[in-house]
Protein backbone atom coordinates (compact mmCIF):
# COMPACT_ATOMS: atom_id res chain seq x y z
CA UNK A 1 0.00 0.00 0.00
CA UNK A 2 1.29 3.48 -0.71
CA UNK A 3 0.81 6.34 1.69
CA UNK A 4 -0.85 9.67 1.00
CA UNK A 5 2.46 11.49 0.77
CA UNK A 6 3.86 9.06 -1.79
CA UNK A 7 0.60 9.25 -3.76
CA UNK A 8 0.84 13.04 -3.72
CA UNK A 9 4.45 12.90 -4.90
CA UNK A 10 3.55 10.64 -7.78
CA UNK A 11 0.62 12.85 -8.75
CA UNK A 12 2.85 15.94 -8.68
CA UNK A 13 5.53 14.19 -10.75
CA UNK A 14 2.95 13.11 -13.32
CA UNK A 15 1.60 16.69 -13.52
CA UNK A 16 5.08 18.06 -14.10
CA UNK A 17 5.85 15.42 -16.71
CA UNK A 18 2.61 16.28 -18.57
CA UNK A 19 3.80 19.86 -18.76
CA UNK A 20 6.96 18.91 -20.69
CA UNK A 21 6.54 18.55 -24.41
CA UNK A 22 9.49 17.85 -26.64
CA UNK A 23 8.65 17.72 -30.31
CA UNK A 24 10.19 15.14 -32.63
CA UNK A 25 11.97 17.95 -34.41
CA UNK A 26 13.52 19.12 -31.14
CA UNK A 27 14.68 15.59 -30.22
CA UNK A 28 16.24 15.19 -33.62
CA UNK A 29 17.95 18.58 -33.50
CA UNK A 30 19.46 17.86 -30.07
CA UNK A 31 20.45 14.31 -31.01
CA UNK A 32 22.16 15.54 -34.16
CA UNK A 33 24.61 17.36 -31.86
CA UNK A 34 25.41 14.03 -30.18
CA UNK A 35 26.39 11.62 -32.97
CA UNK A 36 27.66 9.04 -30.44
CA UNK A 37 24.05 8.32 -29.47
CA UNK A 38 23.98 6.25 -32.67
CA UNK A 39 26.07 3.67 -30.78
CA UNK A 40 23.06 2.83 -28.59
CA UNK A 41 20.51 0.14 -29.36
CA UNK A 42 17.10 1.33 -30.57
CA UNK A 43 15.36 0.51 -27.26
CA UNK A 44 18.05 2.43 -25.36
CA UNK A 45 17.50 5.45 -27.62
CA UNK A 46 13.80 5.37 -26.77
CA UNK A 47 14.49 4.96 -23.08
CA UNK A 48 16.99 7.81 -23.16
CA UNK A 49 14.31 10.14 -24.53
CA UNK A 50 11.88 9.06 -21.81
CA UNK A 51 14.49 9.62 -19.11
CA UNK A 52 15.49 12.99 -20.57
CA UNK A 53 11.88 14.17 -20.61
CA UNK A 54 11.42 13.14 -16.97
CA UNK A 55 14.76 14.78 -16.13
CA UNK A 56 13.56 18.07 -17.63
CA UNK A 57 10.34 17.77 -15.61
CA UNK A 58 12.13 17.09 -12.33
CA UNK A 59 15.14 19.39 -12.54
CA UNK A 60 15.43 23.16 -12.77
CA UNK A 61 17.74 24.68 -15.33
CA UNK A 62 19.32 28.08 -14.78
CA UNK A 63 21.44 30.11 -17.16
CA UNK A 64 24.37 31.74 -15.36
CA UNK A 65 26.17 34.96 -16.38
CA UNK A 66 23.21 35.99 -18.49
CA UNK A 67 23.27 32.82 -20.58
CA UNK A 68 19.92 32.49 -22.35
CA UNK A 69 18.79 28.88 -22.09
CA UNK A 70 17.04 27.54 -25.15
CA UNK A 71 15.00 24.36 -25.49
CA UNK A 72 17.78 22.93 -27.63
CA UNK A 73 20.38 23.50 -24.91
CA UNK A 74 18.12 21.97 -22.24
CA UNK A 75 17.25 18.90 -24.31
CA UNK A 76 20.89 18.37 -25.35
CA UNK A 77 22.08 18.52 -21.75
CA UNK A 78 19.24 16.32 -20.48
CA UNK A 79 20.00 13.58 -23.04
CA UNK A 80 23.65 13.45 -22.01
CA UNK A 81 22.88 13.69 -18.30
CA UNK A 82 20.66 10.62 -18.62
CA UNK A 83 23.22 8.44 -20.42
CA UNK A 84 24.88 7.38 -17.13
CA UNK A 85 21.48 6.39 -15.68
CA UNK A 86 20.17 4.40 -18.64
CA UNK A 87 20.21 1.28 -16.48
CA UNK A 88 19.58 2.70 -13.01
CA UNK A 89 17.01 5.36 -13.83
CA UNK A 90 16.55 8.83 -12.37
CA UNK A 91 16.38 7.71 -8.76
CA UNK A 92 20.17 7.97 -8.79
CA UNK A 93 19.75 11.75 -9.19
CA UNK A 94 17.37 12.25 -6.26
CA UNK A 95 17.91 14.89 -3.61
CA UNK A 96 18.84 17.93 -5.70
CA UNK A 97 17.21 19.89 -8.53
CA UNK A 98 19.51 22.50 -10.04
CA UNK A 99 21.40 22.37 -13.32
CA UNK A 100 23.34 25.59 -13.82
CA UNK A 101 24.60 26.29 -17.31
CA UNK A 102 27.48 28.69 -17.96
CA UNK A 103 28.36 30.19 -21.33
CA UNK A 104 31.81 28.60 -21.69
CA UNK A 105 34.42 27.96 -18.97
CA UNK A 106 33.85 29.65 -15.65
CA UNK A 107 35.76 30.52 -12.54
CA UNK A 108 35.14 29.13 -9.08
CA UNK A 109 36.86 30.99 -6.24
CA UNK A 110 38.58 28.46 -3.97
CA UNK A 111 39.94 28.74 -0.50
CA UNK A 112 42.20 26.12 1.06
CA UNK A 113 44.01 26.09 4.35
CA UNK A 114 47.37 24.32 4.24
CA UNK A 115 48.90 22.26 7.04
CA UNK A 116 50.64 25.32 8.48
CA UNK A 117 47.28 27.10 8.79
CA UNK A 118 47.91 29.54 5.95
CA UNK A 119 44.83 30.35 3.88
CA UNK A 120 45.28 30.29 0.12
CA UNK A 121 42.66 31.86 -2.10
CA UNK A 122 42.68 31.39 -5.83
CA UNK A 123 40.44 31.23 -8.86
CA UNK A 124 39.89 27.86 -10.45
CA UNK A 125 38.88 27.90 -14.10
CA UNK A 126 36.63 24.90 -14.75
CA UNK A 127 34.31 23.38 -17.33
CA UNK A 128 31.92 21.98 -14.76
CA UNK A 129 31.43 20.85 -11.22
CA UNK A 130 29.07 18.55 -9.33
CA UNK A 131 28.19 19.44 -5.76
CA UNK A 132 27.30 16.76 -3.29
CA UNK A 133 23.58 17.06 -2.50
CA UNK A 134 23.54 20.23 -4.60
CA UNK A 135 23.40 21.39 -8.18
CA UNK A 136 25.45 20.37 -11.16
CA UNK A 137 27.33 23.16 -12.94
CA UNK A 138 28.17 22.71 -16.59
CA UNK A 139 29.51 24.91 -19.35
CA UNK A 140 27.92 25.14 -22.76
CA UNK A 141 30.10 25.53 -25.82
CA UNK A 142 29.02 26.14 -29.36
CA UNK A 143 30.21 23.38 -31.61
CA UNK A 144 32.97 25.52 -33.08
CA UNK A 145 34.70 26.20 -29.75
CA UNK A 146 33.83 23.01 -27.87
CA UNK A 147 36.87 21.52 -26.14
CA UNK A 148 38.10 18.46 -28.04
CA UNK A 149 37.72 15.01 -26.51
CA UNK A 150 35.81 16.24 -23.47
CA UNK A 151 32.20 15.68 -22.51
CA UNK A 152 31.55 17.86 -19.51
CA UNK A 153 27.94 16.73 -18.99
CA UNK A 154 28.70 13.00 -18.88
CA UNK A 155 31.73 13.82 -16.70
CA UNK A 156 29.80 15.74 -14.03
CA UNK A 157 26.91 13.29 -13.93
CA UNK A 158 29.32 10.38 -13.54
CA UNK A 159 30.60 12.23 -10.44
CA UNK A 160 26.98 12.41 -9.23
CA UNK A 161 26.74 8.61 -9.44
CA UNK A 162 30.05 8.31 -7.64
CA UNK A 163 28.58 10.42 -4.80
CA UNK A 164 25.54 8.17 -4.38
CA UNK A 165 27.43 5.97 -1.90
CA UNK A 166 29.26 8.74 -0.08
CA UNK A 167 32.90 9.44 -0.87
CA UNK A 168 33.84 10.61 -4.39
CA UNK A 169 36.47 7.96 -4.97
CA UNK A 170 35.81 6.37 -8.34
CA UNK A 171 33.74 3.57 -6.80
CA UNK A 172 30.01 4.14 -7.39
CA UNK A 173 27.21 2.02 -5.99
CA UNK A 174 27.51 -1.25 -7.93
CA UNK A 175 24.44 -3.30 -8.85
CA UNK A 176 23.91 -6.81 -7.51
CA UNK A 177 26.05 -9.24 -9.45
CA UNK A 178 29.00 -6.87 -9.85
CA UNK A 179 32.04 -7.33 -7.66
CA UNK A 180 33.74 -4.42 -5.89
CA UNK A 181 36.93 -6.43 -5.98
CA UNK A 182 36.82 -6.85 -9.76
CA UNK A 183 35.97 -3.14 -10.14
CA UNK A 184 38.86 -2.06 -7.91
CA UNK A 185 41.30 -4.42 -9.67
CA UNK A 186 40.37 -3.15 -13.14
CA UNK A 187 40.35 0.51 -12.16
CA UNK A 188 43.49 0.59 -10.06
CA UNK A 189 45.54 -1.22 -12.73
CA UNK A 190 44.04 1.03 -15.43
CA UNK A 191 44.67 4.18 -13.39
CA UNK A 192 48.30 3.27 -12.79
CA UNK A 193 48.87 2.60 -16.49
CA UNK A 194 47.07 5.79 -17.45
CA UNK A 195 49.15 7.93 -15.07
CA UNK A 196 52.32 6.46 -16.55
CA UNK A 197 51.10 7.29 -20.07
CA UNK A 198 50.25 10.85 -19.04
CA UNK A 199 53.60 11.31 -17.28
CA UNK A 200 55.36 10.08 -20.42
CA UNK A 201 53.32 12.58 -22.51
CA UNK A 202 51.95 9.74 -24.62
CA UNK A 203 48.77 10.14 -26.65
CA UNK A 204 46.05 8.79 -24.40
CA UNK A 205 42.65 7.31 -25.18
CA UNK A 206 41.16 9.47 -22.41
CA UNK A 207 41.41 13.09 -21.26
CA UNK A 208 44.75 13.42 -19.36
CA UNK A 209 42.83 15.24 -16.62
CA UNK A 210 41.80 11.75 -15.49
CA UNK A 211 45.26 11.32 -13.95
CA UNK A 212 44.31 13.83 -11.19
CA UNK A 213 42.67 11.16 -9.01
CA UNK A 214 40.77 7.85 -9.20
CA UNK A 215 37.51 9.85 -9.06
CA UNK A 216 38.50 11.91 -12.11
CA UNK A 217 39.70 8.77 -13.86
CA UNK A 218 36.25 7.18 -13.42
CA UNK A 219 34.60 10.34 -14.77
CA UNK A 220 36.82 10.59 -17.89
CA UNK A 221 36.53 6.82 -18.48
CA UNK A 222 32.75 7.31 -18.44
CA UNK A 223 33.05 10.06 -21.06
CA UNK A 224 35.19 7.75 -23.21
CA UNK A 225 32.81 4.84 -22.67
CA UNK A 226 29.95 6.68 -24.37
CA UNK A 227 31.81 8.91 -26.82
CA UNK A 228 34.78 6.81 -28.01
CA UNK A 229 33.94 3.31 -26.78
CA UNK A 230 36.13 1.29 -29.19
CA UNK A 231 39.17 3.31 -28.18
CA UNK A 232 38.47 2.73 -24.49
CA UNK A 233 37.86 -0.97 -25.08
CA UNK A 234 41.10 -1.31 -26.99
CA UNK A 235 43.28 0.48 -24.43
CA UNK A 236 41.50 -0.52 -21.22
CA UNK A 237 39.48 -3.69 -21.92
CA UNK A 238 38.96 -4.56 -18.25
CA UNK A 239 37.60 -1.08 -17.50
CA UNK A 240 35.37 -1.17 -20.55
CA UNK A 241 33.94 -4.47 -19.31
CA UNK A 242 33.23 -3.06 -15.82
CA UNK A 243 31.54 0.00 -17.31
CA UNK A 244 29.56 -2.14 -19.74
CA UNK A 245 28.05 -3.97 -16.80
CA UNK A 246 27.66 -0.83 -14.70
CA UNK A 247 26.01 1.31 -17.37
CA UNK A 248 24.10 -1.62 -18.91
CA UNK A 249 25.04 -0.71 -22.48
CA UNK A 250 27.60 -1.87 -25.04
CA UNK A 251 28.40 1.21 -27.14
CA UNK A 252 31.59 -0.33 -28.60
CA UNK A 253 29.45 -2.95 -30.32
CA UNK A 254 27.28 -0.08 -31.54
CA UNK A 255 30.25 1.90 -32.81
CA UNK A 256 31.42 -1.12 -34.80
CA UNK A 257 27.90 -1.51 -36.16
CA UNK A 258 27.91 2.13 -37.30
CA UNK A 259 31.46 2.38 -38.65
CA UNK A 260 32.41 -1.25 -39.28
CA UNK A 261 35.41 -2.97 -37.68
CA UNK A 262 38.31 -0.60 -36.99
CA UNK A 263 41.35 -1.32 -39.20
CA UNK A 264 43.79 -3.75 -37.55
CA UNK A 265 47.30 -2.52 -36.90
CA UNK A 266 49.04 -3.84 -39.96
CA UNK A 267 52.18 -5.33 -38.43
CA UNK A 268 53.26 -7.39 -41.41
CA UNK A 269 52.29 -6.45 -44.89
CA UNK A 270 52.42 -8.94 -47.69
CA UNK A 271 54.42 -7.71 -50.65
ZN1 LIG B 1 35.75 15.94 -12.47
How remote is the CA of residue 81 from the centroid of ligand 1, in Å?
Answer: 14
How remote is the CA of residue 67 from the centroid of ligand 1, in Å?
Answer: 23
How remote is the CA of residue 200 from the centroid of ligand 1, in Å?
Answer: 22
How remote is the CA of residue 234 from the centroid of ligand 1, in Å?
Answer: 23
How remote is the CA of residue 216 from the centroid of ligand 1, in Å?
Answer: 5
Burial per residue of 60-88, b for 16 or more beta-carbon CB atoms within 10 angstroms, e otherwise: ebebeeebeeeeebbbbbbbbbbbbbbeb
How remote is the CA of residue 155 from the centroid of ligand 1, in Å?
Answer: 6
Reduce the DSSP state of residue 113 to 3 states and report it: strand
How remote is the CA of residue 163 from the centroid of ligand 1, in Å?
Answer: 12
How remote is the CA of residue 65 from the centroid of ligand 1, in Å?
Answer: 22
For residue 234, count other CB atoms closer than 10 A to its CB: 14
How remote is the CA of residue 214 from the centroid of ligand 1, in Å?
Answer: 10
How remote is the CA of residue 13 from the centroid of ligand 1, in Å?
Answer: 30
Burial per residue of 22-51, b for 16 or more beta-carbon CB atoms within 10 angstroms, e otherwise: beeebbeebbeebebbebbeeebeebbbeb
Q: How many residues does the chain have?
A: 271
94-140 pLDDT per residue, tens = 989 999 999 987 788 888 888 888 888 888 787 888 888 889 999 99
How remote is the CA of residue 223 from the centroid of ligand 1, in Å?
Answer: 11
Going by pLDDT thresholds of 50, 70 and 90, the confidence category of residue 260 is confident
How remote is the CA of residue 129 from the centroid of ligand 1, in Å?
Answer: 7
How remote is the CA of residue 29 from the centroid of ligand 1, in Å?
Answer: 28
> Is the pTM value of this prediction over 0.85?
yes
Is-contact 105 126, C-beta < 8 A?
Answer: yes
Least confident of 49-53, 83-87, 104-108, 138-142: 104-108
How remote is the CA of residue 105 from the centroid of ligand 1, in Å?
Answer: 14
Going by pLDDT thresholds of 50, 70 and 90, the confidence category of residue 264 is low
How remote is the CA of residue 267 from the centroid of ligand 1, in Å?
Answer: 37
182-233 pLDDT per residue, tens = 999 999 999 999 999 999 999 998 999 999 999 999 999 999 999 999 999 9
Amino acid sequence: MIGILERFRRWRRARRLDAVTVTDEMWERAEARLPFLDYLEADHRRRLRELARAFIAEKQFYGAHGFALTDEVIVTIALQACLPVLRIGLRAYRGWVGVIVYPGDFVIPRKIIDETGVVHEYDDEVLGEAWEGGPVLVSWHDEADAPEGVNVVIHEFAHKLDMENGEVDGLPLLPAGMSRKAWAAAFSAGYELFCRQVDAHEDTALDPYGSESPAEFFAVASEGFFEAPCLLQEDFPAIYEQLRQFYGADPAAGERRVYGEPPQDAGVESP
